Amino acid sequence: MSVTARVITRIGDFAIDAQLEARPGETVALLGPNGAGKSTMLKAIAGLVAIEDGCIRIDSAAVDEPASGTFIPPEHRRVGMVFQDYLLFPHMTVRQNIAFGRKPRKMPADKNNDDDTWIHALDLTDLLDRKPDQLSGGQAQRVALARALATNPRALLLDEPLAALDAATKQTVRGELRQFLQRFEHGSILVTHEPLDALVLADRIVVLEDGRVTQVGPTAEVASQPRTDYLAALLGVTLHRGLATDGVVACETGGTLIASTSITGSVIAVIRPQAISLHTHKPEGSARNVWRTTVTAVEAHHDQMRVTLAGPPQLTAAVTPAAVAELGIAPGQQIWASLKATDIAVHPA
């Protein structure tokens, strides 16, 4: 079933006014920095906090709508939630945890089958008699998922489901979770501050910053066309806001970028660090953007070196360690940088 939420609420001085929708079978990532209001939105959908205005609907029926005085308490919303640190009940075994939300009024045999489906699908058969403190992070995550699904929920909410895992486990579990979410028939909403989680798990991304939605779109589109500084930093690309005149962008922070489009107006230019070439002498070639600039920093970034350039415009180039050694790139050094016009993505903003 689908979930639509327009959440308007305040926590102290912090105001949230944001909306999102998850259609049946779709996974939507709510991506944003810590303190952006993501968890509050998720809690509002689950019914753990009441909104002040707006409306939350599950499959077109309002579950929280202050204007009409509607508030369905969480236990009657049938929304499955997986919490950041899973919150498996410590005094119960895995089996008891999973059975906790089972509806007693249904036929026992029938429901047992339902539970068993998830117990098998999530590979929990051997863990049923363990207590939560005897589980690994990945196992606990699967139990939390099975527990939420045993209630036969109409939507699934996942609050930072991978944050509690170590790096090695994270990768495996992320893959498993993706496979599961693709099979889940109802809408899922995933809260994360980790762009990779959103890129891998979500069909669509809703970006929440400071209580407002700053970008919404299909995952691929948001990844390649980030609209805010926050997102651009996460996705490892350089972003310049500016005013374009026939494809020539005057950057707000100084400098000019020549793009290959004939766009005019307020824009956001996105540059992948890998697209920038560095030279010791003025390059002769097809690149339309050529600057003489100062290196301000050089740092290792995975298997690449990130070279920050003073500009204007300010840029970050990604080159190989060999190139850094060969060109003798060091902070303070004067250097030439070039960038093809076709490598600058310009989006209206």
Q: How many residues does the chain have?
A: 349
The residue range among 24-32, 97-105, 121-129, 233-241 that interacts with another protein, by the rule CB under 8 A, is: 97-105
Residue 46 or 269 having the CB closest to another protein: 46
- Shortest reach from residue 173's CB to another protein, in Å: 19
Residue 78 or 240 having the CB closest to another protein: 78
Phi, psi (deg, nearest 5) at residue 311: 75, -145
- E strand or H helix that includes residue 156: strand 155-159
Residue 72 or 248 having the CB closest to another protein: 72
Residue 151 or 289 having the CB closest to another protein: 151
**207 CB contacts (<8 Å, ≥6 apart)?**
31, 32, 213, 214, 215, 216, 222, 227, 228, 230, 231
Q: Which two tokens stand for residue 211?
A: 């209580």
Q: Decide: helix, strand or coil at residue 202.
A: coil
Task: List Cβ<8 Å contacts ≥24 apart for 329-332.
Answer: 329/278, 329/295, 329/298, 329/305, 330/295, 330/298, 331/295, 331/296, 331/297, 331/298, 332/294, 332/295
Q: Does 146 bind another protein (CB under 8 A)?
A: no
- Shortest reach from residue 74's CB to another protein, in Å: 4
Span 266-295, contacts to another protein by CB under 8 A = none
| Number of shown-chain residues binding another protein (CB under 8 A) | 26
Q: Which two tokens stand for residue 98?
A: 């999973």
Span 32-61, contacts to another protein by CB under 8 A = 43, 46-48
Residue 13 or 133 having the CB closest to another protein: 133
Span 191-230, contacts to another protein by CB under 8 A = none
Q: Does 75 bind another protein (CB under 8 A)?
A: yes
Are 277 and 286 spatial neighbours (Cβ–Cβ below 8 Å)?
A: no
Q: How many CB atoms lie within 10 A of CB 335?
A: 21
Residue of 11, 100, 117, 274 that binds another protein (CB under 8 A): 100
Residue of 36, 79, 222, 339 that binds another protein (CB under 8 A): 79
Q: Decide: helix, strand or coil at residue 111.
A: helix
Q: Specify the DSSP class assigned to residue 224.
A: H
Residue 35 or 73 having the CB closest to another protein: 73
Span 107-136, contacts to another protein by CB under 8 A = 131, 133
How far CA 148 is from CA of 78, 81, 98, in Å, comes to 9, 6, 8
- Letter for the amino acid at 27? T
Residue 71 or 336 having the CB closest to another protein: 71
Q: Does 161 bind another protein (CB under 8 A)?
A: no
**347 CB contacts (<8 Å, ≥6 apart)?**
225, 227, 267, 268, 269, 270
- Shortest reach from residue 158's CB to another protein, in Å: 12
- Shortest reach from residue 275's CB to another protein, in Å: 45
Are 237 and 255 spatial neighbours (Cβ–Cβ below 8 Å)?
A: no
- Shortest reach from residue 101's CB to another protein, in Å: 3
Residue of 14, 61, 73, 330 that binds another protein (CB under 8 A): 73
The residue range among 2-10, 71-79, 173-181, 212-220 that interacts with another protein, by the rule CB under 8 A, is: 71-79
Closest to 212 (Cα-Cα) out of 11, 1, 20 = 20
Q: Does 148 bind another protein (CB under 8 A)?
A: yes
Q: Which residues bind another protein (CB under 8 A)?
A: 43, 46-48, 73-81, 83, 87, 89-91, 100-101, 103, 131, 133, 147-148, 151
